[in-house]
Amino acid sequence: MSTTKTLGSRLVILFAAVTVPLLLILYLAGNYAKGVVLTQVANSYQNLVNANLNMIDRSLDDITLNMVDIVNHDDNFRLFEQPGLSGSDAYFAQMELIKRNDTYQSYYHTVDMFFVYSKTNDQLVSTNLTGEAAAYYETVRQWLTDSFSYADRLKKAMYKWSVVHIADQYFLYRIVSDDDTNRAYIGALININSLRTPLGNLDLREGGGIVFTGDDGTVLSNPAPPLDALKQLPAEKLSKNRAFTYANGKTKLLIVSSRSRNVGVHTAVVIPNSELLRGLNAFQTFTYLLPLIVLAILIVYGFIFRSLIFTPIRQLLSAIRRIKEGNMSTRLPASGTVEFNIINHTFNGMVEEIVDLKIGVYEERLRAQKAQMKQLQLQINPHFFLNTMNIMFQLIDLKRHELAKKTIRHLVNYFRFMIGLKRDTITLEQEMEHIRNYLEIQKMRYQESFLYSIDIPERLKSLQLPSLFVQPFVENAMIHGMSLQNMPFRLEIEAFAAGGPEEGVRIEVRDNGKGLTPEQLQELNASHYTPESEDGSIGIWNVMQRMAMHYGDKAKLAFEANSPRGTVVRLQLPASSAEEGKEHHGEHADRGR
């Protein structure tokens, strides 16, 4: 039965159909409100970033124009590039260039160093290195001196601002030279961290900051804590020059970026989302708690509905299941609900009627089974008696009187057993003694042509089983399996414990006679075997019937081909239920009297 067809599942589905859309609407509303706040904040910061970045770009343009003007119109620069200057001329040219660049450096606060290099004289003259990179003065001068030995590095910096890495700092680098001679260069270095100066008026939230990145997303500046661990931003998102959200570990950040038109540097304002949404904390808290409130209401509702509807229904279903399993003592308690109280009372009345009816039918069935078992036992006796008379006739006819007397003695013991048999079950030892009388009679007839053995462990001799339970298989082996060709006919009976206690006891009857055809084996092993005529197979059918009555499906009977020839009959009996079957049958017999 599908679980969606139960009453409980349908009520849950109905309740979910109402509550889930409501929770979804609240969730979407909360996300929409967050999105609006983030968009408005992002637009505000985007305008500020663009305005300040334009100011930086204009400053870079002015710095470039200043250096171009010096190259084209400053006489001291032209003297500085000339070879063979006297010491005083070279000194005054250097001083004037440094003085002019100092003036420009004080005007352009973002420039950390101006420098002039004479290729003719291999001489570098520079202003002091200011700002956060002041401690790198000598390292920077050495890097500049070395850089003029690399034509590709000079060519790259001649036409646009570029980013260079000196020690552990990033700088903007630009040089200008006389295109005709290229004997002297003037240049400027701007530490990336110095670009934050024009952006100092931005009102950033707690935990926010300004970072500068390259086109590949590498962070070029040294951001203050807690952003000092931020080393990389996604380049594909930076290239779009618009706001985006980025997860830095467990912290979500709002990134508002824009790219400089003069150099491959992005200015990015980084603000934690939690700071931007601080004003929505109450709304967020309510949004997060609402599903828990609804869940609590649902749980309370479930407990109430369970006590009113589900518990009585489960009790009813459980009682029906126990009745089906045979527990007829099951009764339903009184209910506080009028409708269920009527149902429980009616159910209990029906169970009482079923019990009364079942007891009558069961006792009648026991009487019929007892009569049938007696009849089945009697059907076996004439068959064996006629076979025995035939053996005695042959012995007397052969004038083997001693053997005839011995046969009569065994026959007397056999009938004494049959006459004295008052119980439905006997021990395995008694059954084997009865079979031994039968086999001794057969031994008298066939002498050395017939051999038999009975192997029963001492601990299994007291095993209880239905009377005349193994004898029919021994008799059928003698009648239908006897073969005297080339070798004696051998019959073996063995009983042993088959594995653990739960596997019971196995009794095997083996012979090396004619055997059975595959068709006969298939027919005997069929679950509903019925003999076609009242020949020797009626005894097998009798055993099958009595086995079903005593053990139900706990016992098994199997026919197999023996190796190299003959037949094996295997009886698998539940050792733990043999005595129980006897007592259970005796109890029913007493009730049937």
* Residue 109 identity: H
Percentages (nearest 5) of helix, strand, coil residues in the chain: 60, 20, 25
Does the pLDDT value for residue 253 go beyond 60? yes
Per-residue b or e along 449-481, where b marks 16 or more CB atoms closer than 10 Å to that residue's CB: ebebeeebeeebeebbbbbbbbbbbbbbbbebb
The answer on pLDDT for 466 being more than 80 is: yes
Q: Number of C-alpha atoms within 13 angstroms, CB side, residue 212? A: 23
User: What's the whole-model pTM score?
Assistant: 0.45
**Which residue would you say has higher pLDDT here, 485 or 586?**
485
pLDDT top residue among 195 and 181: 195
Instruction: Decide if 216 contacts 207 (C-beta within 8 A).
Output: no
Q: Give CB contacts under 8 A, 24+ apart, made by 559-562.
A: 559/516, 559/521, 559/524, 559/525, 560/521, 561/515, 561/516, 561/521, 562/510, 562/511, 562/512, 562/515
pLDDT at 87: 67
The domains spanning 74-196 and 379-574 adopt the same CATH topology: no
> For 379-574, CATH number?
3.30.565.10
Percent of the chain with pLDDT over 90: 8
Number of other residues whose CB lies within 10 A of the CB of residue 278? 13
Q: Is the pLDDT of residue 383 over 50?
A: yes
Question: What pLDDT is recorded for position 559?
Answer: 94
Confidence band for 200, pLDDT divided at 50, 70 and 90: low
C-alpha closest to that of 424 among 382, 369, 471, 384? 369
- Measured CA to CA, the distance from residue 278 to residue 285 in angstroms comes to 11
Q: How far apart are CA 177 and CA 71, in angstroms?
A: 6
Question: What φ, ψ does residue 66 adopt, rounded to 5°?
Answer: -60, -45
- Which one-letter amino acid corresponds to residue 324? K
| Contact (CB, 8 A) for 49 and 267 | yes
- Encode pLDDT of 419-451 as tens digits: 666 677 889 999 999 899 888 877 877 788 889
pLDDT at 276: 67
Give the CA distances from residue 140 to residues 103, 144, 146, in Å, rounded to whole numbers and listed in that order: 21, 6, 10
**Mind listing the pLDDT tens digit for each residue in 347-368?**
888 888 887 787 777 667 656 6
pLDDT of 461 strictly over 60: yes
User: Over 50: is that where the pLDDT of 577 sits?
Assistant: no
Check pLDDT > 90 for residue 185: no
494-511 pLDDT, tens digit per residue, is 998 876 656 689 999 999
- We find that the CATH architecture of domain 74-196 is 2-Layer Sandwich (3.30)
> In 3D, which of 452, 412, 446, 449 has the Cα closest to residue 432?
452
Confidence of residue 329 (pLDDT cuts 50, 70, 90): confident
- The domains of the chain are located at 74-196, 331-375, 379-574
Q: Measuring CA to CA, which residue among 190, 63, 172, 67 is closest to residue 117?
A: 67
pLDDT(583) > 50 = no
Positive or negative, the CA dihedral 383, 386, 388, 394 is negative
User: What number is the average pLDDT over the span 122-144?
Assistant: 85
Is the pLDDT higher at 301 or at 455?
Answer: 455
